[in-house]
A and B are shown apart, each in its own frame.
Chain A
C-alpha cells in the first residue's frame, strides 16, 4: 500500500547491471551484519567478550596461510552443496537432501579410491569423482522421480533419504567396506590410494578449483542454455512450462539429478581431498548450511562462492574462538540461523532500509505441496 510510484519503467542503460548487482547485495550483506551483531549480544550476555571472540574467529579463519587453507577446505563442500541447492531452487525444488547425496558420493568415491590400486592419478581421480557424483545423482533421482510421478514433496522425501543415507553408509563402512587392518576397530573404510588423493595445483587445492569451475558451469547452464531456460521456466511457472511443451516431470527429475550430482561431487571431493577415506561422522552438517548459502547467494551460482567462503571462515575459526575466549562454537550455528532468517524474510531488512522489493524471478517452493 505504501509504495505509490514503484512502477517506473526500467531503463536500458549501461550501469544498470552494476546497480542491480549492488542492490542485490544489500540484503545479504545487511543480514550478515545484523546476525553478527545479534551474535555479539548473545556472546556478551553469556559473559564473554564479543570482540575477543570475533577476533579469534577471524584469526582462526584468515589469520595465517594455514588458516586460509582450512577456510578453503571448509568452503569447498559448501560451494558444492550451495550450488546443488541453488540449482534445485531454480527449478522450484527444495533439495534438503544434499547431506544424503554428499554421503553417498563420499562413500562411493572412497570405495573407488581404496579398491583400485595402481591406477594412474589421471584416471583414478576422475573415475572416483565421477562415481561419487553419479551416486549422489542417483540418490537425488529417487526424490526427483517420487516428486515427478507420485507428487510426494521433495522436502520430506529428501529428509527421509538423508536418514536412510546415514544408516546405509554407516553400514557400508562397518560391513562390506570396513577397514579390516589390524590397527582398526571402528567403522571406516580403508584409506584411498595415494594416486586418488587430490593434489594442490599452484598451491590451491584441486577441490577448490573444481568447486569454482562447477559454479561457473552451473551459471552457464542456468543462464545460457536451453536446459537452463527450461529449468527456470518450470521453477517460475510449471503450468506455463507445460503449455510451452516443456515436460515438467523430465525437468523435475533432471534438476534433482543435477543437484545430486553436485552434492555427490562435493562428497567425493571431500573424501579424496580432505578425509582420505570414508568414516561415519566426518561428512555431517552440510545439508542445512547449504540451504543458508543458497539463500544468502540468492540462488546465484557465482555468489555461492563468497557466501561459502564466509561460512567457511566461521567454521574454520570456530575452534580457535572457543580455545581463546571460551565461547562455545555452537554460536556460529546461531549466527548462521539468524543470517538465514534475515535473508529469507528479506522484507524486514527492506523495510528497515526502505528498499523496494526485487523484481524478476522469485523462489517459490510452496506451490507443489502435497498435490
Chain B
C-alpha cells in the first residue's frame, strides 16, 4: 500500500459520559484527505455523540482532537466551522420558513453593516451549485423542497463555509435508493476535489459501496476497523451487533383471509390544507402483512392518521371489517379492533411522565376490567401491566416505573405490548423499529409476524426498505400521495421498489435497466 495522504482529522481516546451511560469510551479515529471514512454502528452505539464532539456541540470528558496534526479544543460549532468542519445532521438543521439563501448564510451573514445583502450570497451559492452539481434555487423556501434537495442545501451550507471535512450523519435514511446514488456521486465529486468525508450509517450495503475505510462502533467503543475489500455484510453485521444476526426474518407462508381494512379513493389534506393523499385505494386481508414503502413525506403519515381517525378524510371511504368508519372518532375506530403503533412513540404513543402500567392502559383505561363506571381499578391495571411486562419482555424495574426511564427499545415494547395484547383484527404499525437496538428490532419483527399468523391484518408503514421487504407479504409503494401499484413481496426487487419510490411508472419500472447502481432516473421533484 502506498503512503497515505495527510491526516486531516484525528481523535485520540475520546471519552464522553452522560448521566447513567458512557456514550464514547476511548474512541480514536483518523481521517485522511480525500477519503470517505464510514462510521458504522447501530442506534445508540455512540456515532452521533462522537460527531457532535468533533463538531463542537458537546465537549469530551477526556481525549483530544487534532486537526491537520494540530491539537485543538473545539468548544462550539463556530470553532469547528472556522477549522473547516461541516456537518450534515440526520435531522436537517434548516429553518423551513426561510429561503435556501437565508438558511445558507445564517450565522455567516453577508451584508453592508448590520443589513443583510443576499445578492452576494446568491452569487456564491450559484457558483457552488455549479461546481459540485448541487442544483438548488437560492430563493425557494426550504419547506417547499424535497428531502433530497434539502440535503443538498445542507451540503452547500457546509461548503459555503469552506468546509473541507464533511460529516454526514445518516444521510441516506430519508432518501430513495436512486437519491442515495446521486448523493454518492456528489460525495465522490467532493472527495475528488480534496474534501474528506465521514459517513455515518447503520446500513451495511451503503457503507460497503461508498467507504474507503470502515470503523465500527458498539456501545461507545471501537470494535473494528476494516475496508470494504476485506469486509462482507455478514462480518460487518456481526461486528456491529456483537453476535451473529439473522439478516432475514423467518416467516411462513401467509394465509390471507377476508379483507379487514378497505380504503376507497381516500384523499387527505395536510395541516396547510394541501392534498397529500390523492385517492388511495387498497385492501388489507386478514392474515397478511401489507407493507407501504416510500420516502418519508409522501403522504404515509397522513394516510395512517386518516385511517385511525386522527385526521379528517377529505373524500373517499374507509371500512374496517365492512363497517364504514370514515371520519369516525379515534376511539370508535380503536374499538372496532384497530390497533395502532404510532410513528412517533415519544410524542404520540406514550405519556412519558406516566408509569409503565398507566401507559399500558392508555387507550383501554375506560373499559372493564380497568374501570367500573368512572372509577379506576388500580389493582386490575397493575395486574395487567405485570402480565404484559412478562409476556413482551419489557425491561423495567417495575410496573410503576416512569416510562421515561426506559430505553428506546423498551419504550417501543410497551407500545407493542399495549397494542398487540388487545388482539384486534387490524394492526397498523408505523415505523415500528425506528431508532431502536437490533435485539428489540428482532423481537418486534417476530411479534408482528406472530400477529399476522394469529389472523390479524397488518398494515406496515416503514421508511426502511429492508424492513418492508423482510416482513411484507405484499408491498405498496407510495409516491406523491398515490399508490401506483401493489406488488407481491416475493417477486419485488430493491431496484424496482426504488424506482417506484422515486415516482417511476409501474409498467416500465419493471423493465428499466439498472446499470451499476447509478440509474438515470427522470425524477419528478416535489413542490417546485
Do any beta carbons of A and B sit within 8 angstroms of each other in the complex? Answer: yes
Residues of A within 8 A of B (CB): 3-7, 9-10, 12, 224-227, 229-230, 233, 236-237, 239-247, 359-362
- List the A residue with the shortest CB-CB distance to B355: A360
A9/B405 in contact, CB under 8 A: yes
A224/B376 in contact, CB under 8 A: yes
User: A6 to chain B: which residues have CB within 8 Å?
Assistant: 19-20
Q: Quick check: is B402 within 8 A (CB to CB) of the other chain?
A: yes
Q: Given A243-B310, A245-B330: A10 and B350 within 8 A (CB)?
A: no
Q: Contacting A225 at CB < 8 Å: which of B334, B375, B397?
A: B375
Q: Can you name 13 A-B residue pairings with CB atoms under 8 Å?
A: A6-B19, A10-B402, A12-B398, A224-B376, A225-B374, A226-B365, A233-B354, A233-B362, A239-B347, A240-B348, A243-B342, A245-B330, A247-B331
B376/A229 in contact, CB under 8 A: yes
B353/A361 in contact, CB under 8 A: yes
User: A3 to chain B: which residues have CB within 8 Å?
Assistant: 19
Q: How far is the CA of A134 from the CA of B363 in the complex (A)?
A: 31
User: B347 to chain A: which residues have CB within 8 Å?
Assistant: 237, 239-240
Would you give the 0/1 interface string for B231-258, flagging 1 where the beta carbon is closer than 8 Å to chain A? Answer: 0000000000000000000000000000
User: B340 to chain A: which residues have CB within 8 Å?
Assistant: 243
Q: Contacting A242 at CB < 8 Å: which of B17, B310, B358, B400?
A: B310
Q: How far is the CA of A229 from the CA of B359 in the complex (A)?
A: 11
Q: Contacting B366 at CB < 8 Å: which of A9, A226, A242, A247?
A: A226
Known: A236-B352, A245-B330. 5 other contacts (CB 8 A): A10-B400, A225-B376, A226-B365, A245-B363, A246-B331
Q: How far is the CA of A63 from the CA of B125 in the complex (A)?
A: 78
The 8 A-B pairs with the shortest beta carbon distances in the complex, nearest first, are: A245-B331, A9-B397, A244-B363, A7-B20, A245-B330, A225-B374, A244-B362, A243-B348
A243/B353 in contact, CB under 8 A: no
Q: How far is the CA of A247 from the CA of B375 in the complex (A)?
A: 19
A4/B366 in contact, CB under 8 A: no
User: A9 to chain B: which residues have CB within 8 Å?
Assistant: 397-398, 401, 405
Q: Quick check: is B329 within 8 A (CB to CB) of the other chain?
A: yes
B401/A10 in contact, CB under 8 A: yes
Q: Quick check: is B465 within 8 A (CB to CB) of the other chain?
A: no
| A356 shortest CB reach to chain B, Å | 11
Would you give the 0/1 interface string for B357-379, flagging 1 where the beta carbon is closer than 8 Å to chain A? Answer: 01000110110000100111000
User: B376 to chain A: which residues have CB within 8 Å?
Assistant: 224-226, 229
User: B362 to chain A: which residues have CB within 8 Å?
Assistant: 233, 240, 244
| Number of chain B residues whose Cβ lies closer than 8 Å to a Cβ of chain A | 34
Q: Quick check: is B349 within 8 A (CB to CB) of the other chain?
A: yes
B331/A362 in contact, CB under 8 A: no
A227/B352 in contact, CB under 8 A: no
User: B402 to chain A: which residues have CB within 8 Å?
Assistant: 10, 359-360
| B497 shortest CB reach to chain A, Å | 29
Among A12, A237, A246, max chain B CB count under 10 A is at A237
Q: Contacting B351 at CB < 8 Å: which of A5, A7, A236?
A: A236
- List the A residue with the shortest CB-CB distance to B397: A9
User: A224 to chain B: which residues have CB within 8 Å?
Assistant: 375-376
User: A227 to chain B: which residues have CB within 8 Å?
Assistant: 374
User: A244 to chain B: which residues have CB within 8 Å?
Assistant: 330, 362-363
User: A362 to chain B: which residues have CB within 8 Å?
Assistant: 353
Q: How far is the CA of A237 from the CA of B400 in the complex (A)?
A: 19
- List the B residue with the shortest CB-CB distance to A16: B400
User: A237 to chain B: which residues have CB within 8 Å?
Assistant: 347, 350-353
Q: How far is the CA of A72 from the CA of B64 in the complex (A)?
A: 66
A-contacting residues, B328-348, CB 8 Å: 329-331, 334, 340, 342, 347-348
- List the A residue with the shortest CB-CB distance to B358: A229
User: A12 to chain B: which residues have CB within 8 Å?
Assistant: 398, 400
Q: How far is the CA of A242 from the CA of B362 in the complex (A)?
A: 11
Q: Given A7-B20, A225-B376, A245-B330: A240 and B349 within 8 A (CB)?
A: yes
Q: How far is the CA of A244 from the CA of B374 in the complex (A)?
A: 17
Q: Given A239-B347, A239-B348: A7 and B353 within 8 A (CB)?
A: no
Q: How far is the CA of A10 from the CA of B350 in the complex (A)?
A: 20
User: A240 to chain B: which residues have CB within 8 Å?
Assistant: 347-351, 362
- List the A residue with the shortest CB-CB distance to B371: A226
- List the A residue with the shortest CB-CB distance to B17: A4
Q: How far is the CA of A289 from the CA of B24 in the complex (A)?
A: 50
A242/B330 in contact, CB under 8 A: yes
| B352 shortest CB reach to chain A, Å | 7
User: A241 to chain B: which residues have CB within 8 Å?
Assistant: 351
| B389 shortest CB reach to chain A, Å | 14
- List the A residue with the shortest CB-CB distance to B399: A12
Q: How far is the CA of A361 from the CA of B351 in the complex (A)?
A: 10
User: A5 to chain B: which residues have CB within 8 Å?
Assistant: 19-20
| A133 shortest CB reach to chain B, Å | 20
Q: How far is the CA of A119 from the CA of B351 in the complex (A)?
A: 50
- List the B residue with the shortest CB-CB distance to A223: B376
Q: How far is the CA of A5 from the CA of B17 in the complex (A)?
A: 11
- List the B residue with the shortest CB-CB distance to A10: B401
User: B349 to chain A: which residues have CB within 8 Å?
Assistant: 240, 243
Q: How far is the CA of A361 from the CA of B358 in the complex (A)?
A: 12
Q: How far is the CA of A224 from the CA of B374 in the complex (A)?
A: 8
- List the B residue with the shortest CB-CB distance to A360: B353
Q: Given A5-B19, A7-B20, A224-B375: A245 and B351 within 8 A (CB)?
A: no
| B463 shortest CB reach to chain A, Å | 20
Q: Given A9-B401, A236-B353, A240-B362: A245 and B19 within 8 A (CB)?
A: no
Q: Contacting B19 at CB < 8 Å: which of A4, A239, A359?
A: A4
User: A233 to chain B: which residues have CB within 8 Å?
Assistant: 351, 354, 362
Q: How far is the CA of A245 from the CA of B17 in the complex (A)?
A: 39
Q: How far is the CA of A229 from the CA of B377 in the complex (A)?
A: 12
User: A247 to chain B: which residues have CB within 8 Å?
Assistant: 329, 331
Q: How far is the CA of A136 from the CA of B216 in the complex (A)?
A: 64
- List the B residue with the shortest CB-CB distance to A361: B353
- List the A residue with the shortest CB-CB distance to B402: A359
| B17 shortest CB reach to chain A, Å | 8
A226/B401 in contact, CB under 8 A: no
Would you give the 0/1 interface string for B199-211, flagging 1 where the beta carbon is closer than 8 Å to chain A? Answer: 0000000000000
User: B350 to chain A: which residues have CB within 8 Å?
Assistant: 237, 240
Q: Contacting B405 at CB < 8 Å: which of A7, A226, A242, A243?
A: A7
| B477 shortest CB reach to chain A, Å | 26
Q: How far is the CA of A236 from the CA of B375 in the complex (A)?
A: 20
Q: Given A240-B362, A360-B402: A7 and B19 within 8 A (CB)?
A: yes
Among A7, A226, A236, A245, max chain B CB count under 10 A is at A245
User: B374 to chain A: which residues have CB within 8 Å?
Assistant: 225-227
- List the B residue with the shortest CB-CB distance to A225: B374
| A218 shortest CB reach to chain B, Å | 14
- List the B residue with the shortest CB-CB distance to A362: B353
User: B375 to chain A: which residues have CB within 8 Å?
Assistant: 224-226
- List the A residue with the shortest CB-CB distance to B381: A229
- List the B residue with the shortest CB-CB distance to A220: B375
| B376 shortest CB reach to chain A, Å | 6
- List the A residue with the shortest CB-CB distance to B334: A245
Would you give the 0/1 interface string for B1-37, flagging 1 where the beta carbon is closer than 8 Å to chain A? Answer: 0000000000000000101100000000000000000
Q: Given A242-B330, A243-B330: A236 and B310 within 8 A (CB)?
A: no
User: B334 to chain A: which residues have CB within 8 Å?
Assistant: 245
Would you give the 0/1 interface string for B377-419, flagging 1 where the beta carbon is closer than 8 Å to chain A? Answer: 0000000000000000000011011100100000000000000
| A151 shortest CB reach to chain B, Å | 13
| A3 shortest CB reach to chain B, Å | 6
